[in-house]
Amino acid sequence: MTHIITSLCLRDGGCATVCPVECIVPGKPTDQWPWYYIDPDTCIDCGACIPECPFAAIFPEEEVPSAYKAKGGEYISMPVGTPGFDTEYTGTNHDGETVVLTATRILAAGEVVDLTPDIAPNEAFYKEGPGYDALK
């Protein structure tokens, strides 16, 4: 098992500072890999990252919601070019740095979103993407 970072991630970065095995890294380039990602082969499922996320974006893999019910106002973030994701998010991360994400969408109150498709990009980041290159 592993933990999964979902599209609710807005690159706060706080989770990476508490992971005891340092298996959370920021996706780069940001337009292709907008979230932070967890190395599934290294994660020890300690759960320390979950309360650090201000956007409640992290779940144990088997608890990633297939019907996440939005409170309203949450942003979800996708790679640039994803249809329907044309809102820009600007915020401040855990270190006080500005974060800009150009392909986001704001959820409406009561909107139900399937977050389980977010599991695959976490694995792909380490198997095929920049995470793989970093581990070589």
Q: Per CB under 6 A, does 46 bind ligand SF4? A: yes
Nearer to ligand SF4, 36 or 85 (CB): 36
Rounded to whole angstroms, how far apart are CA atoms 39 and 2? 8
Write out the two tokens for 68: 């996440």
Q: Which stretch binds ligand SF4 (CB under 6 A): 20-28, 81-89, 111-119, 125-133?
A: 20-28
Q: Per CB under 6 A, does 55 bind ligand SF4? A: yes
Nearer to ligand SF4, 43 or 115 (CB): 43
Backbone φ, ψ for residue 97 (5° rounding): -90, 150
Query: Residue 112: which residues within 8 A CB-CB, separation 6 or more?
Result: 67, 68, 69, 70
Q: Per CB under 6 A, does 78 bind ligand SF4? A: no
Q: Per CB under 6 A, does 43 bind ligand SF4? A: yes
Q: Per CB under 6 A, does 91 bind ligand SF4? A: no
Query: Residue 88: which residues within 8 A CB-CB, separation 6 or more?
Result: 100, 101, 102, 104
- Asked whether the beta carbons of 94 and 14 are under 8 A apart, the reply is yes
Nearer to ligand SF4, 13 or 131 (CB): 13
Q: Which residues contact ligand SF4 (rule: CB under 6 A)?
A: 3, 5, 9-15, 18-19, 21, 23-24, 36, 38, 43-49, 52-53, 55, 57-58
